[in-house]
Amino acid sequence: MADMKVQSLDRAFDILEILAREPTGLTLVEIAAESDLPRSTTFRLLSVLLQRDYVRKGPYDNFYRLGPGFIELSSNYLNSLELKTESAPFMRELASSLGTIVFLARRQGNMMVYIDKEDQFTSLRKYAIIGEQRPIYCTSLGKALILDMDDDEIRNLIPDTFLTKFGPNTHIDVESLIKDIHICKARGWTHDNEEAEPGVNCVAAPIRDYRGQIIASISTSWLLEIRPELEAEKVALFVVRAANEISRTMGFYENL
């Protein structure tokens, strides 16, 4: 039984590779011929791939083509490879312009994960925080990652029992967080005003890909005691510009 499953998987990949070489599509008969499979087997494998959106069939013809599921799978992988490379010069520019630390993050469930960092000092400290997780609800990076979610999605993602107080202004209930998210959506950036840590401020903005979906966020943070002259609204101009430029390199052009 296990060998049969492996064989079916191998044949399914053969079909995907055949379709990848034929962007205009192929008929069932053509796919069966190229894959050297019986039509019944080819039809069965195509039916499974159709169900999972890895293959699509034209509404007005009998041609099979690669589907959005397969493209989505590939784009996620490519985005992960490209994001840090494309973000690097804009992170350096942002850190240099403000003299602050800059972070890049992605979402993992109800947590955000640091994937890169830039500051004015070259040392191994740069890599100390990469891979670490922080709660979404009390970080500007995390809040920027959920700006496209509606209220119910946020409630399902972050139940009230999940919230823990980390700073003097941490949201202690989801409804308070949702009100904050509404404000952030309207202005296009998020603010951590001593929510994750006392004495620290942070401003972030979302990064989008070619589909317009939020795939990451970029932020800069500073100590209030050391940089009292920095105002969130003014800092946000720099952060949003960096986020927009990175989004552009990732293929997003709408409203830029």
**Same domain flag for 133 and 157:** yes
CB count, 10 Å around CB of 114?
19
Residues contacting residue 174 through CB under 8 Å, at least 6 positions apart: 137, 154, 155, 158, 159, 160, 163
| Distance between CA atoms of residues 99 and 91, nearest Å | 11
pLDDT > 90: what percent of the chain? Answer: 62
With respect to residue 256, please indicate whether it lies within any of the assigned structural domains.
Answer: no
This prediction's pTM = 0.68
Give me the CATH number covering residue 13.
1.10.10.10
Q: Give the range among 85-94, 118-127, 241-250 with minimum mean pLDDT.
A: 118-127
Residue 79: is its pLDDT beyond 60?
A: no
Domain coverage including residue 17: 2-66
Q: How many domains does the chain have?
A: 2
Alpha-carbon 109 to chain mean position: 11
Same domain, 91 and 25: no
Which domain-ending residue is among 28, 43, 66?
66
Residue 135 is part of a domain; what is its CATH number? 3.30.450.40
How far apart are the C-alpha atoms of 142 and 129, rounded to whole Å? 15
